[in-house]
Amino acid sequence: MESTATVLVYSDNAHTREQVRLAAGRRPADDVPAVEYVECATLPAVLSELEKGGIDACVLDGEASPAGGMGVCRQIKDEIFDCPPVLLLIGRPQDAWLATWSRAEAAVAHPVDPAELAASLASLLRRRLPATAR
């Protein structure tokens, strides 16, 4: 049986969550497992899913409202033991320094470039998952 990776996608905008799923696809790279997505539209939903465990990576919308992905990232890095790596969607390339402040492992500019998003997500999954799961 093939293993799967679970990716949490947070945005208050359903269209943005859909863009992430479509851009990364079912398998962002040949050497990572197939991906199952967990979608969250609110900060309490994100915290609940992370507390349950089993999340291998997070994609957070830096432009989400009322809780922006940068603040959410910083909060989960402080509060969640063994927090999964985070890919942050930023509004402008100039906001990359804010992604660093939030302690995200990667950032891509919105609107999403499918190749860039898939490559960044695959990189995070490679770091998180043991080679035997890939």
Has domain 4-133 been given CATH number 3.40.50.620?
Answer: no
pLDDT at 134 over 90: no
Q: For residue 104, is it left (φ>0), alpha (ψ between -120 and 50) or beta?
A: beta
Per-residue confidence (pLDDT) for residue 18, from 0 to 100:
97
Kindly give, in sequence order, each residue whose CB lies less than 8 Å from that of residue 50, ignoring residues fewer than 6 positions away: 8, 58, 76, 80, 83, 84
How would residue 133 be classed by pLDDT, with cut points 50, 70 and 90?
low
* Alpha carbon of residue 124 to chain centroid: 9
3-state SS string for 23-36: HHCCCCCCCCCEEE
DSSP state of 86: E
Per-residue confidence (pLDDT) for residue 93, from 0 to 100:
78
Distance CA 121, CA 105 (A): 10
Average pLDDT of the chain, as a whole number: 93
How would residue 131 be classed by pLDDT, with cut points 50, 70 and 90?
low
pLDDT at 70 over 90: yes
The residue extents of the domains of the chain are: 4-133
Distance CA 99, CA 102 (A): 5
Other C-beta atoms lying within 10 Å of the C-beta of residue 40: 22
Q: pLDDT tens digit string along 33-69?
A: 999 999 999 999 999 999 999 999 999 999 999 999 9
Per-residue confidence (pLDDT) for residue 2, from 0 to 100:
63
Residues written for the chain: 134
